[in-house]
Structures are given as C-alpha cells and as structure tokens.
Amino acid sequence: MKALPSLKIAALVASLTLAVGVGAQTMGASDATTTASPSAPSASSESLGQHVSDGTVTTKVKAALLAAKDVKSTHVHVKTRRGIVWLTGTVPTSDEKTRAEEVAAGVTGVHKVKNRLKISGSE
C-alpha cells in the first residue's frame, strides 16, 4: 500500500520537471530564429500565453472559414503566430482565395493575414 503514495509523488515530480523544462524552452529562446524564415510561423520563441492566444485565433479563423458558404475550406490550413495568420493549402478559384483572406482578416485577434493559398482549378 505504501507504493501507491510513492508513485503519486513520483508522477508529481515528473510533471513539475516537465513543466519547468517547457517553460525554460519558451522563455529562453531567441526571436532571431523566427525572423530567419518569413514564410511560416515557428513555435520556438513564443510564450505559453502567446501560444494559447494564437491557438484561439487559429480556431476562430478555421471556424469562420467553415461557416463561410462561399469558401471551400477543407483544404485550407491555418497557422497563427503573434496575431499573424498564415493561410496555406488549395482553393478552387481566385475568388475563394480572396474571400478566405477577407474572412480570416475579419476575425478578432487577427492583425495580419499572409495568404499563401494556391488555386487548384478543380471542383
């Protein structure tokens, strides 16, 4: 019976160690690594608060794209970094590419949209 409390303590210590390690990684990373690649966001230097906020923005943009009747968003990928949203993937027409950018820009928390969508020409 003494083994169960020992396992709980060991699990707690392991969890705290992991949390401290993740915190050290996000707090100690340099922004220089993210400015080297302007084409896509990197999670290496964002804080936990930024990550949650960016994740919320990404979710809201995805939901807005799904709700937009004039955008076929099943092949649109969304990433957010510090309020900048990257749209990648494919859409059938240039009108849908433009509309996807407009929808994303209209979401609260979006500061800028980088539209990297490709036009597939099918459908």
Per-residue pLDDT of the chain (123 residues; tens, 9 = 90+): 555 556 666 665 565 555 545 444 444 444 444 444 445 555 555 566 665 589 999 999 999 999 999 898 889 999 999 999 999 999 999 999 999 999 999 999 999 999 999 998 755
Query: What tokens does 32 get?
Result: 């220089």
Residue 114: inside a domain: yes
Q: Is residue 18 part of a domain?
A: no
Which residue type, as a one-letter code, is found at position 33?
Answer: T
Determine, yes or no, domain membership for 5.
no
Q: Tell how far CA 78 is from the center of its chain.
A: 7
- Other Cβ atoms less than 10 A from the Cβ of 113: the count is 21
Question: What CATH code is carried by the domain that includes residue 37?
Answer: 3.30.1340.30
For residues 47 and 73, the answer to whether their CB atoms sit within 8 Å is no
Asked if the structure places residue 24 within a domain, the reply is no
Centroid of chain to Cα 39: 14
Number of domains composing the chain: 1
71 part of a folded domain: yes
C-alpha to C-alpha distance for 67 and 61, rounded to whole angstroms: 10
93 located within any domain: yes
d(CA 85, CA 40): 10
Residue 3 lies in a domain: no
Q: Which residue range forms the structural domain that includes residue 55?
A: 31-119
Tell me how crowded residue 54 is: count the other CB atoms within 10 A of its CB. Answer: 21
Residue 103 placed within a domain = yes
